[in-house]
C-alpha cells in the first residue's frame, strides 16, 4: 500500500514538472496558421521505452520458462502488450487538437469532433490529481483537452477571447492552482 502511494506521489510530481514546461511552450502551426496542440515527444519516448522494457522482460521470461504451458501464456501476454503499446504509439502520433479561427477540432484514431467557439455551452475543468483536463461541451459534443498538450496556454488565451472570460473563470482558477 505504501509503495503504491509513493509511486503515485512520484508520478504526480514528475507529471507536474512536465506539465509546467509543456503548458508554457508555444504550440505548432499548420500551413494555414491553425494552432496544433499535441502530446510532448517525451510521452511518445516513454511509451516506446515501456514497449521495449516489456518486450525484453517477456522475452527473458519466455526463454527461462520451463513449462510449455507457461511459455505459451507468456507469448500470448507479450503479444497482447505489444499490440497495446503499438496502438498507443499510433494514437500518440495521430491524435491532436486543431484550433482554427472559429472552432476546436479533436482528431483521433477513429475520426474528428468539431465544436465551434460560438456553440460552446459549458467549459469544465477536472483535476484528477496528476493532470488537469479542460472539457468543452456544445451541440451535444464533448472535447477533452489535457493541460499537458504543448501550446495549451496559447489555446486557453484564444478560448478566453472567443467565448468570454466569464465562461473560463472557474477553469482558469483551477488550471493556475494546478500549475503553481
Neighbours of 102 (CB within 10 A): 11
Which fold is adopted by the domain 2-38+97-179?
Answer: PH-domain like (2.30.29)
Query: 105, 79, 114, 108: which is closest to 91 by C-alpha?
Result: 108
Q: What is the pLDDT of residues 20-62, one digit of tens each?
A: 566 667 778 888 999 999 887 777 777 778 778 877 887 887 7
C-alpha cell at 53: 522494457
Give yes or no for a contact between 50 and 84, defined as CB atoms under 8 angstroms apart: no
Report in angstroms the alpha-carbon separations of 9 from 13, 14, 39, 136, 180. 6, 9, 22, 28, 16
Neighbours of 13 (CB within 10 A): 11
Can you give the residue ranges of every domain in the chain? Answer: 2-38+97-179, 46-91
User: Does 1 have pLDDT greater than 50?
Assistant: no
User: Does 87 have pLDDT greater than 80?
Assistant: yes
C-alpha cell at 163: 467565448
| Mean pLDDT, rounded, for 135-152 | 90
| Mean pLDDT, rounded, for 156-168 | 90
Lowest-pLDDT range, 69-78, 109-118, 144-153? 69-78
Q: What is the pLDDT of residues 97-139, one digit of tens each?
A: 999 999 999 998 888 999 999 999 999 988 876 678 899 999 8
Enclosing H/E stretch for 37: strand 35-37
| Mean pLDDT, rounded, for 84-103 | 87
Looking at per-residue pLDDT, the higher value among 23 and 174 belongs to 174
Amino acid at each position: 500500500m505504501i509503495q503504491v502511494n509513493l509511486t503515485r506521489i512520484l508520478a504526480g510530481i514528475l507529471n507536474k514538472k512536465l506539465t509546467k514546461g509543456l503548458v508554457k511552450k508555444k504550440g505548432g502551426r499548420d500551413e494555414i496558421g491553425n494552432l496544433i496542440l499535441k502530446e510532448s515527444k517525451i510521452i511518445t519516448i516513454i511509451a516506446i521505452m515501456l514497449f521495449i522494457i516489456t518486450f525484453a522482460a517477456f522475452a527473458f521470461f519466455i526463454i527461462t520458462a520451463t513449462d510449455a504451458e507457461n511459455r505459451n501464456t507468456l507469448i500470448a501476454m507479450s503479444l497482447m502488450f505489444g499490440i497495446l503499446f503499438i496502438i498507443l504509439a499510433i494514437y500518440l502520433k495521430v491524435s491532436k487538437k486543431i484550433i482554427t479561427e472559429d472552432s476546436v477540432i479533436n482528431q483521433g484514431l477513429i475520426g474528428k469532433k468539431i465544436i465551434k467557439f460560438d456553440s460552446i455551452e459549458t467549459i469544465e475543468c477536472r483535476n484528477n490529481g496528476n493532470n488537469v483536463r479542460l472539457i468543452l461541451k456544445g451541440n451535444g459534443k464533448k472535447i477533452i483537452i489535457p493541460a499537458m498538450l504543448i501550446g495549451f496556454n496559447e489555446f486557453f488565451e484564444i478560448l478566453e477571447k472567443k467565448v468570454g472570460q466569464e465562461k473560463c473563470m472557474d477553469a482558469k482558477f483551477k488550471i493556475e492552482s494546478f500549475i503553481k
